[in-house]
Amino acid sequence: MRVAWRASLEMGPLAEEFNVGVVGAGYVGLVTGACLAYVGHRVTCVDKDEGRVAELKEGRMPIYEPGLEDLVVQNSRRGRLSFSTDIAGTVHEADVLFVAVDTPQGDDGSADLSSVAAVARSIGRALAERPGAGRAQRERPLVVVNKSTVPVGSGDYVSMLIQEGASESSSGNGAVDYRVVSSPEFLREGSAVYDSFFPNRIVLGADKRDALDTMRALYEPFIEQTFPTQVDPRPKVAVPFVTTDLASAEMIKYAANAFLATKISFINEIATICELVGADVSSVAHGIGLDDRIGSRFLSAGIGWGGSCFPKDVAALRSIAREYDHEPVLLDASVAVNERQRKRVVSKLQRDLHTLKGKRVALLGLAFKPNTDDLREAPSLEIARALDQRGARAVGYDPVAGKKAAGLLPNLRVVFDPYEALSGAHAAVVVTEWEEIRTLDLQRIAALMESPKLLVDGRNAYDPRAVRDSGLLYRGFGRE
Ligand SMILES: NC(=O)c1ccc[n+]([C@@H]2O[C@H](COP(=O)([O-])OP(=O)(O)OC[C@H]3O[C@@H](n4cnc5c(N)ncnc54)[C@H](O)[C@@H]3O)[C@@H](O)[C@H]2O)c1
């Protein structure tokens, strides 16, 4: 039985209750804030986007994440979760302040820290202006927790900017008391709420012991798994709480994402070789995955990795390595394989359609993975661009991300019914393996499509025989 929680059930009283601020109400910040409120802390989520804050105050979600709406609405009603655009006011009230703003890829591949820097300066100014700043006003200094994914050394950079912000302040004497902690986030979009309640580990980096003590107390319900709603009959096992220095915590996040991306690229390399020698990568992945040194997850061959994290985090790590004159050859290869997978989609289409000019191609799934509406670095968009360059007409469908995708690319038509996308299409590409897309009616698809009725299964989501039996031409990855 899987562990479950229900937002409507009350937690018991907390041993220690904190005032928490979360700056950045996106996928990470909003989920983190809502989960901390659920376990009993008083949380304010701050965002510079006024529209987003207004929506959240009305109980409307700016992002799609399973289970999130319930959690936000219930905890707002309980008075434990609120939303604001006022970072200074939030800093004044907070014991712990999370920073969960975006760190996109800059033009040179490195992480763009401008949002983090702006927030750090604001924290400094607000701290200096906090009533009683500079005096031992509070029992404990404010703990600033960085949840954004940032390069090694960013903890010190944030600290420096807080100091700068404090000294820029017109009021106060510039003396501020705070700690900087790195708490990298490992949640996965699509199961972010679940992952926040039941993480594999909590990693914390700090250079002061007292900050780690505060964080341990704050995270206590997550570490000890004291949720009233657990239905898993197994004995509760405490979540590993990894404490380390700032630089190592920052590096753990990049290393984790680079490893996972490379694991996918590895199986994609094997898939290509499987095609050449006539092996089936699904069997190969199963056979190697049973070795517990390898593990079965992240061994699905196909279009490759995308999304808001892997591409930018691998790029940032490569950029860090190069700054130190180190050629990250393995990471370079991982990216090269991934780029090649996108091209292989197009060549698989060309192989059976010959020229793509004028051909209609249905893209099934647009979000970068199932159960999210996130389109950042989504393979669908890259494939749509490549099709456009070759004169094909792309028609996309996604169960959730369709609305966001509509209008993103001038030559990608978005429809809201999968069979409408497939109607009259010469080919279809399974881009995102949503449950709804894995279980489409193959006979109906065959009746709607135009010859050669090609299905390029970019996620190896279908049984090739079932697809062929329904009259479609099947092309998977590593399993021809
Ligand atoms: N999305 C994920 O799955 C995931 C997982 C792990 C780590 N991360 C990391 O977490 C960080 C946040 O990612 P996300 O996906 O939640 O981003 P996001 O874009 O969904 O949200 C960021 C939010 O920060 C707000 N913001 C930006 N600058 C601000 C400022 N100066 N003041 C107040 N608000 C500000 C934005 O308006 C936005 O709402 C990134 O560093 C990312 O790499 C993301």
- In tens, the pLDDT along 394-440 reads 999 999 999 999 989 988 999 999 999 999 999 999 999 999 999 99
Are β-strands 360-364 and 427-430 bridged in parallel, bridged antiparallel, or unpaired?
Answer: parallel
Model pLDDT, residue 82: 98
- Report the amino acid identity of residue 56: L
Model pLDDT, residue 1: 38
**Helix H or strand E segment including 178:** strand 178-182
Q: How far apart are CA 337 and CA 347, in angstroms?
A: 15
- Given a contact cutoff of 8 angstroms between Cβ atoms, the answer to whether 467 and 442 are in contact is yes
The DSSP 8-state label assigned to residue 108 in this structure reads T
Ligand 1 atom 21, closest CA: 26
Please give the distance, rounded to the nearest whole angstrom, from the Cα atom of residue 285 to the centre of ligand 1.
34
In this structure, the number of other CB atoms found within 10 A of the CB of residue 217 comes to 16
| Contact 308 CB / ligand 1 (< 6 Å) | yes
- Given a contact cutoff of 8 angstroms between Cβ atoms, the answer to whether 129 and 172 are in contact is yes
Q: How far apart are CA 152 and CA 54, in angstroms?
A: 35
Residue in 227, 298, 201, 301 with CA at minimum distance from that of residue 257: 298
C-alpha distance from residue 12 to each of 17, 41, 222, 283, 298 (Å): 12, 12, 13, 48, 37
Please give the distance, rounded to the nearest whole angstrom, from the Cα atom of residue 45 to the centre of ligand 1.
12
* Distance, first Cα to last Cα, the chain: 36
Please give the distance, rounded to the nearest whole angstrom, from the Cα atom of residue 418 to the centre of ligand 1.
31
Please give the distance, rounded to the nearest whole angstrom, from the Cα atom of residue 423 to the centre of ligand 1.
38
Model pLDDT, residue 168: 86
C-alpha distance from residue 143 to each of 183, 210, 242, 294, 480 (Å): 11, 10, 18, 38, 55
Q: How far apart are CA 240 and CA 246, in angstroms?
A: 18
Q: How far apart are CA 70 and CA 76, in angstroms?
A: 10
Sheet holding 454-457, edge to edge: 412-415, 393-397, 360-364, 427-430, 454-457, 473-475
- Given a contact cutoff of 8 angstroms between Cβ atoms, the answer to whether 378 and 366 are in contact is yes
Residue in 59, 134, 45 with CA at minimum distance from that of residue 93: 45
Which domains does the chain carry? 19-244 (3.40.50.720), 259-475 (3.40.50.720)
Q: Give tens-digit pLDDT for 93-130.
A: 999 999 999 999 999 999 999 999 999 999 999 999 87
Please give the distance, rounded to the nearest whole angstrom, from the Cα atom of residue 452 to the centre of ligand 1.
43
In this structure, the number of other CB atoms found within 10 A of the CB of residue 461 comes to 21
Model pLDDT, residue 134: 47
| Contact 252 CB / ligand 1 (< 6 Å) | no
Please give the distance, rounded to the nearest whole angstrom, from the Cα atom of residue 149 to the centre of ligand 1.
9
């712990």: which residue's tokens?
A: 96
Tell me the best of 22, 23, 28, 404 to mutate to test the pocket of ligand 1, counting ligand atoms within 8 Å of each CB and taking the most.
28
| Contact 23 CB / ligand 1 (< 6 Å) | yes
Q: How far apart are CA 159 and CA 206, in angstroms?
A: 12
Residues labelled as active-site residues = 309
| Contact 27 CB / ligand 1 (< 6 Å) | yes
Strand partners, 63: none
Residue in 85, 101, 90 with CA at minimum distance from that of residue 53: 85
Ligand 1 atom 44, closest CA: 28
Phi, psi of 334 (to 5 degrees): -60, -40
Atom in ligand 1 nearest the alpha carbon of residue 101: 24
Mean predicted lDDT score pLDDT of the chain: 93
Please state whether the predicted TM-score (pTM) of the whole model is above 0.95.
no
Q: What is the token pair recorded at 435?
A: 């449950």
Atom in ligand 1 nearest the alpha carbon of residue 184: 7
Q: Where are the alpha helices (DSSP H) in 97-138?
A: 114-129
Reading the chain (480 residues) residue by residue, the pLDDT tens digits are 355 556 666 776 787 899 999 999 999 999 999 999 999 999 999 999 999 999 999 999 999 999 999 999 999 999 999 999 999 999 999 999 999 999 999 999 999 999 999 999 999 999 998 776 544 455 679 999 999 999 999 999 999 999 999 998 776 666 789 999 999 999 999 999 999 999 999 999 998 999 999 999 999 999 988 876 544 555 577 899 999 999 999 999 999 999 999 999 999 999 999 999 999 999 999 999 999 999 999 999 999 999 999 999 999 999 999 999 999 999 999 999 999 999 999 999 999 999 999 999 999 999 999 999 999 999 999 999 999 999 999 999 999 999 999 989 988 999 999 999 999 999 999 999 999 999 999 999 999 999 999 999 999 999 999 999 999 999 999 997
Q: Give tens-digit pLDDT for 271-300.
A: 999 999 999 999 999 999 999 999 999 999
| Contact 76 CB / ligand 1 (< 6 Å) | no
| Contact 103 CB / ligand 1 (< 6 Å) | yes
Tell me the best of 68, 145, 185, 404 to mutate to test the pocket of ligand 1, counting ligand atoms within 8 Å of each CB and taking the most.
185
| Contact 111 CB / ligand 1 (< 6 Å) | no
Nearest 10 degrees: Cα torsion 153, 154, 160, 161:
160
Q: How far apart are CA 454 and CA 318, in angstroms?
A: 38
Q: How far apart are CA 260 and CA 68, in angstroms?
A: 26
Tell me the best of 22, 23, 27 to mutate to test the pocket of ligand 1, counting ligand atoms within 8 Å of each CB and taking the most.
27
Model pLDDT, residue 212: 95
Model pLDDT, residue 130: 78
Alpha-carbon torsion 299, 304, 307, 312, what sign?
positive
How many separate helices (H) and strands (E) can be counted in the chain?
18, 14
Alpha-carbon torsion 424, 426, 430, 435, what sign?
positive
- Given a contact cutoff of 8 angstroms between Cβ atoms, the answer to whether 155 and 180 are in contact is yes
Helix (H, G, I), strand (E, B) or coil at 105: strand
Q: How far apart are CA 210 and CA 276, in angstroms?
A: 58
Q: How far apart are CA 202 and CA 57, in angstroms?
A: 29
């219930």: which residue's tokens?
A: 74
Cis peptide before 452 (omega within 30 of 0): yes
- Report the amino acid identity of residue 452: P
Q: How far apart are CA 70 and CA 264, in angstroms?
A: 33
